[in-house]
C-alpha cells in the first residue's frame, strides 16, 4: 500500500474468488443456484410454520426467525457478487462496503443468538416439560426475540463506526467477493489498533456468551436424559433437539474452520474460498437439516406443497 494518495471516500474493488474470465460464468451459475436454494428453502420453512397451526410453538417461532436471518445473511453478500460477475464490474462504494459489513455482522450475530435462544427452549422442553407452556409463554418469547434483534443491531455498530474513521488509498483491491471486515482492515492506510481491539472484543463477547449458554443448556439436557430409565424415552428426548444440535454443530464448525484456516494461512484467496462455507453453505443446509430430520416440519411442508400444487 502506497503511503500517499489517501482518500476519505475510496472505491473498493471486489476481486472475487477468481479473476479468470473463463470461469466467471461457472461461478455465476453455481452461486445463483446456491442462493436460490437458500432463499426458497428458508421461505418454505417460514410459510410452513405460518400456515400450520400445529407449528405455532416457541421452537418454530424461533426457527422461522432463524430462516429469515439466513435469507438476510446470504443476501448481504451473494447478490452483489452475482451483479459484479454479470456486469463485469468489481466496484463497490465506500458507503456500500461499510453498509455490507454492518448488515453482514448484524445477521451473523442474530444467527448466533437465535441458536442460543433455541437451545434454552430445548432445555426447558426436556428438563421442565410440565412447566414448558408456563415458562415459554408468549411474552417471554417476544422479549427473547426482541432482545436478540436489538443486541444484533447494536452489537454490529462499534465495528462499522470505527471502520468509518479509517482512511484508505483512492482505489483499494480486496481479494474477496464481499467486504469482510478483517480483510478490509489489512488494506487501511491509517492505524487500525482501535479497530482490531473492537473486532476482537465484539467477537469474543458475542462468541463466548452464546456458546456458553448453548453448552450449559445441553449439559443440563444430557444430565436430564440420562436419568430416563427407558431407551425409547431417551431416544425421544434426544430426537426433539437433534435438528438444533446439528445446526449448532454446523454453525460453530464452519466458524472454527474459517478461524483455523486464517491462522494457518495468510493467503487472502484461500480465505475467500473458505468463507463460502459460512456465508453460503451453512444458511443453505439449515433448512435441509430441519426439513429432513423433523417429522412435524416434513408433514407441514408436504401439506403446504400439496395445497399449493393441487388444482382449485
Proportion of the chain above pLDDT 90, given as a percent: 49
What is the rounded distance in angstroms from the CA atom of residue 106 to the CA atom of residue 148? 10
193-226 and 231-239 helices, crossing angle to 10°: 150
What is the rounded distance in angstroms from the CA atom of residue 94 to the CA atom of residue 27? 25
User: Mean of the pLDDT values across residues 209-216?
Assistant: 94
Please check whether residue 144 lies inside any domain of the structure. Answer: yes
- pLDDT, one tens digit per residue, over 42-82 is 999 999 999 999 899 999 999 999 999 999 999 999 999 99
Nearest to 10 by CA among 163, 158, 162: 163
The pTM (predicted TM-score) of the whole model is 0.90
Please check whether residue 86 lies inside any domain of the structure. Answer: yes
Confidence at residue 264, expressed as pLDDT on a 0 to 100 scale: 64
Confidence at residue 268, expressed as pLDDT on a 0 to 100 scale: 66
Measured CA distances, 226 to 128, 130, 270, 306 (Å):
15, 18, 43, 40
Please check whether residue 203 lies inside any domain of the structure. Answer: yes
Domains contained in the chain, number: 1
Q: Say if residues 166 and 190 touch (Cβ distance below 8 Å).
A: yes
Give the residue carrying C-alpha cell 415458562: 135
Please check whether residue 306 lies inside any domain of the structure. Answer: no
What is the rounded distance in angstroms from the CA atom of residue 312 to the CA atom of residue 245? 40
The CATH number assigned to the domain holding 190 equals 1.20.1070.10
Neighbours of 277 (CB within 10 A): 17
Neighbours of 207 (CB within 10 A): 15
Please check whether residue 303 lies inside any domain of the structure. Answer: no
Please check whether residue 301 lies inside any domain of the structure. Answer: no
Please check whether residue 305 lies inside any domain of the structure. Answer: no
What is the rounded distance in angstroms from the CA atom of residue 63 to the CA atom of residue 241? 12
Please check whether residue 105 lies inside any domain of the structure. Answer: yes
Q: Compute the mean pLDDT over every residue in the chain, rounded to the nearest whole number.
A: 87
Structural domain of residue 275, as residue ranges? 11-295
- pLDDT, one tens digit per residue, over 279-297 is 888 899 888 888 777 788 8
Amino acid at each position: 500500500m502506497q503511503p500517499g494518495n489517501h482518500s476519505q471516500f475510496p472505491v473498493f474493488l471486489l476481486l472475487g474468488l477468481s479473476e479468470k474470465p473463463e470461469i466467471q460464468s461457472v461461478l455465476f451459475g453455481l452461486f445463483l443456484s446456491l442462493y436460490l436454494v437458500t432463499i426458497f428453502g428458508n421461505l418454505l420453512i417460514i410459510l410452513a410454520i405460518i400456515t400450520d397451526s400445529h407449528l405455532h410453538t416457541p421452537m418454530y417461532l424461533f426457527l422461522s426467525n432463524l430462516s429469515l436471518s439466513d435469507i438476510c445473511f446470504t443476501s448481504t453478500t451473494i447478490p452483489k457478487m452475482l451483479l459484479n460477475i454479470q456486469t463485469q464490474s468489481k466496484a463497490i462504494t465506500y458507503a456500500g462496503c461499510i453498509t455490507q459489513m454492518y448488515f453482514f455482522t448484524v445477521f451473523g450475530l442474530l444467527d448466533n443468538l437465535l441458536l442460543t435462544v433455541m437451545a434454552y427452549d430445548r432445555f426447558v422442553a426436556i428438563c421442565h416439560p410440565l412447566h414448558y407452556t408456563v415458562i415459554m409463554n408468549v411474552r417471554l418469547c417476544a422479549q427473547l426475540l426482541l432482545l436478540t434483534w436489538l443486541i444484533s443491531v447494536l452489537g454490529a455498530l462499534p465495528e462499522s463506526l470505527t471502520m468509518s474513521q479509517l482512511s484508505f488509498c483512492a482505489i483499494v483491491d480486496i481479494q474477496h467477493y464481499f467486504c469482510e471486515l478483517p480483510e478490509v482492515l489489512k488494506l487501511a492506510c491509517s492505524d487500525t489498533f482501535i479497530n482490531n481491539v473492537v473486532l476482537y472484543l465484539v467477537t469474543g463477547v458475542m462468541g463466548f456468551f452464546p456458546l456458553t449458554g448453548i453448552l450449559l443448556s445441553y449439559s443440563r439436557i444430557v444430565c436430564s436424559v440420562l436419568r430416563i430409565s427407558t431407551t425409547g424415552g431417551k431416544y425421544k428426548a434426544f430426537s426433539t433437539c437433534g435438528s438444533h444440535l446439528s445446526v449448532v454443530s454446523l454453525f460453530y464448525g464452519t466458524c472454527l474452520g474459517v478461524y483455523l484456516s486464517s491462522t494457518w494461512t495468510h493467503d487472502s484467496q484461500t480465505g475467500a474460498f473458505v468463507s463460502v462455507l459460512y456465508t453460503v453453505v451453512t444458511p443453505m443446509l439449515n433448512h435441509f437439516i430441519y426439513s429432513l430430520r423433523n417429522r412435524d416440519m416434513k408433514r407441514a411442508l408436504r401439506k403446504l406443497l400439496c395445497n399449493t400444487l393441487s388444482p382449485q
